[in-house]
Amino acid sequence: MVKPLLTNMKSPFRKHGEKAVARRKSAVTVRCLKSYSGKAESHLVGVAAILGPKVTKTLCSWKLVSERTQYARFISNNAKLLLIVCYAPTTDADDTLEDEFYDNLQSLIDSIPLQEVTCILGDFNGKVGQDRSYFPELMGHHGLGTINENGARGIGYGYGE
C-alpha cells in the first residue's frame, strides 16, 4: 500500500495541511532509493523515482534512458512490472525535441516483452479540456480549459496513433 506524504505550501488550506503533514511525519520512516535524471543546475528537465523499502526489495533493475525518461523493472512472486517515468517537453519546446521524446518513448515501449505489465507515469504537459465525449476511457472528469497540441498528442499516443 502506498501512503503518499505530500504538501502544497500554496494551498489555501496550508495551516490545516501542515498539521496533517506533521501527524503523518511522526509515523513515517524515510528510507528510500532515489533515482534522478536531468541537469541539476538548470532545473529544466529531469524525472525522478523514489521507492520505499518494501518496493526496493522487488526492484531488479533501472535505467536512465534520457534526461526525460527512465524506467524501473520489478519482479515479484506473481508478476513482472516495468514502470516508466517520463517528463514531456512543454508546448513552447521545439517540435524536433517533442518528436524525439515521443520517438524514444515509443522505442522503449516497443522493446518491452508482451508478458511484462507496463505502467507509464509522467507529466505530458498537455491540456485535454473538459469534453470527454470523444475519449471517455482516457480522460478523467476534471479536465481544465480547452485541449492543446500536447493534450491531443497525448490522447493520440494513448490510442496508439
Q: Are 38 and 45 in contact (CB under 8 A)?
A: yes
Instruction: Establish if 137 belongs to a structural domain.
Output: no
Q: Would you state the pLDDT for residue 8?
A: 40
Q: Is the pLDDT of residue 16 over 60?
A: no
Distance CA 32, CA 51 (A): 5
> Which residue range forms the structural domain that includes residue 24?
1-30
Q: Is the pLDDT of residue 145 over 50?
A: yes
Q: Is the pTM of this model over 0.75?
A: no
Domain match, 92 and 21 both: no
Q: Would you state the pLDDT for residue 105?
A: 92
Distance CA 139, CA 71 (A): 24
Q: Would you state the pLDDT for residue 152?
A: 84
Domain match, 72 and 96 both: yes
Q: Would you state the pLDDT for residue 37?
A: 60
Can you tell me the mean pLDDT for 36-64?
75
Domain match, 24 and 46 both: no
Print burial letters for 102-133: b (CB count within 10 Å at least 16), e (below 16).
beebeebeeeeeeeeeeebeeebbbbbbeeee
How many distinct structural domains can be found in the chain?
Answer: 2
Domain match, 16 and 54 both: no
* pLDDT tens-digit readout, 58-78: 889 989 888 899 999 998 888
Domain match, 54 and 90 both: yes
Domain match, 79 and 15 both: no
Can you tell me the mean pLDDT for 8-32?
48
Instruction: Establish if 161 belongs to a structural domain.
Output: no
Q: Which distant-in-sequence residues (6+ apart) come within 8 Å of 117 by Cβ?
A: 79, 80, 81, 82
Domain match, 88 and 14 both: no
Domain match, 23 and 36 both: no
Instruction: Establish if 158 belongs to a structural domain.
Output: no
Pick the more confident residue, 144 or 103. 103
Instruction: Establish if 97 belongs to a structural domain.
Output: yes
Question: In percent, how much of the chain has pLDDT > 90?
Answer: 17
Domain match, 42 and 92 both: yes
* pLDDT tens-digit readout, 100-121: 999 999 999 999 988 889 998 8
Instruction: Establish if 22 belongs to a structural domain.
Output: yes
